[in-house]
Chain A
Amino acid sequence: MSTFGALNTAYRGLTAAQQGMNVAGQNIANAATEGYTRQRVQQSAIGAPAPGMFTSGTVQTGQGVSVDAIARLGSSVLDASVRSASAQAGYAGMRSTALQGIEGILQEPGDNGISAALQGFWSAWQGAANQPSEDGPKGLLLNAANSLTNKISSAYQSLQGQWSSVRAQASDAVDAVNAAASQVAAYNATIRSTLNAGGNANELIDARAKLTDTISRLAGGTVREQPDRTVDVHIGGNALVMGTSVRELELSGSQAGDALGATVQLLWKNPPGVASSDGGEIAGALSVLAPAASGGAIAAAAESYNKLAGALATAVNAVHRTGETGTGATNADFFSLSATGPAALGIKAPTSTDDIALKAQNSGALDTGIADQISQLGTGAASPDKIWSGIVTGIGVQSRGAQQAEALTSAAQASAVTGRASQASVSLDEENVNLLTNQHAYQAAARVMTAVDEALDVLINRTGLVGR
């Protein structure tokens, strides 16, 4: 062992303790930073040099401490569980929001819903029947009919609006995924070059992990770490990010060109292809946007409004045709349906009280047999009221299921996030202890240096002075 070996050992101790304090400082400074993963100094003891030819016989100590790396204490397993949980939570959350929106449009049970309008409509027929010679009750009947058809068509329009807004959200989410993907690719490049140059990329990796979380929440997908510390992001089995290259996503059709009932798909841009999504908000949005035949909730609700409008018109008209209107016309429809477009928007009540048939054909002028028959249409087993109640219950059940799924998945997400935080987050107590340990280590290393210095002083300045 050389004379100054101990000095060098003490110096290594000083720098290691200083690094330890630096890292503790960095951890404490970022205790509240979102996505920050705690770091540790990895150090190891340097062993004694191998015995040389003339050194046998003396036992040698080690040569101090070496700072090997600053480790990032993340766990890829926990990261993956957060990503998969947030993909599911994103999917369920999107569906639940959309279904609650549909439910809100129903306005049931309440005084403003379609069921109240239906009841008002049936009652109005009896009201008109009580005073067949007066125009007032007939006017009220037309009013009730118009309020019913208006409610059906305005609910249908609300659904159209909701469809467009969900599509816009999905489109925004796709843009956000593309932006995040290109940032991930950029980080991949930086991280690779930093690590190749021997640098520390912990903070860059944190930032990249935040981006991959965002991608998972929006589009699901899996993240694969590569040996060069870059990550590949796969969606539906195809690479969104591979190393530094990005394959962007897009939605089929256009926001302006698509409307309720259209099929919206997630597509790869270049080279083109159909992307299958793995969950996440985009998949949730696409599932509610789908056409009714494929189980799309909005289109199915719109379809049921059409069914209601059709059933209402058929039931009322079937009886109304057997009557005679105020102008003497027979075989006349009450509700008219437009030949094109959805029935919910095309259903119209007559405009004149003369077009109402209260009386049966060939009966007294003030007969009200038809009005009475129509007023009882709401009570049958296949009545519009029953159809409507079925629709409301169906949507209620669906929405309830979606809300439960949302509660479940968001609880799972919360627990995954807590699990990751418990591994990766900064504990101030721990850092304080580390700080203290390193502080003491620094002081002690300095003491060692002083001791060696004093010993050398004795050797250099006080020896060889006998008899002087």
Chain B
Amino acid sequence: MKTVVLLSILLVAPRAFAHHSFGAEYDSAKPITLTGVVTRIDWSNPHVYIYLAVKGDDGHLVNWALEGHPPNTLRRTGWTRSALKETDAITVTGWMSKDGSNRMAGREVTLPDGKKLFLGPPAQ
């Protein structure tokens, strides 16, 4: 098994944020899935941010920021700038931030039509 793991590490090209290491900002031990309504999209560098209004247990809306790859990488992996718009209801998986703020590293977004797109790298 060790051999398989080691070879996998060596042969698989790195998948990471180009701008910073995953572990500097996000906690791989804290996966999270959120469903909410898109309130804003920053199609910006060095990261795209999607802001999501999520209804909490008490019924109040909480705004979350989802960090993803930069626009060029997303365009090359299947996104377009119009793939998502404000008021769209989406579900996103990812990992929570380490600083306790309502931020997460987005991994996969399920769009309103059910299509799934990768937003960022896997936890590392």
Q: Do A and B bind each other?
A: no
Residues of A at the B interface (CB closer than 8 Å) are: none
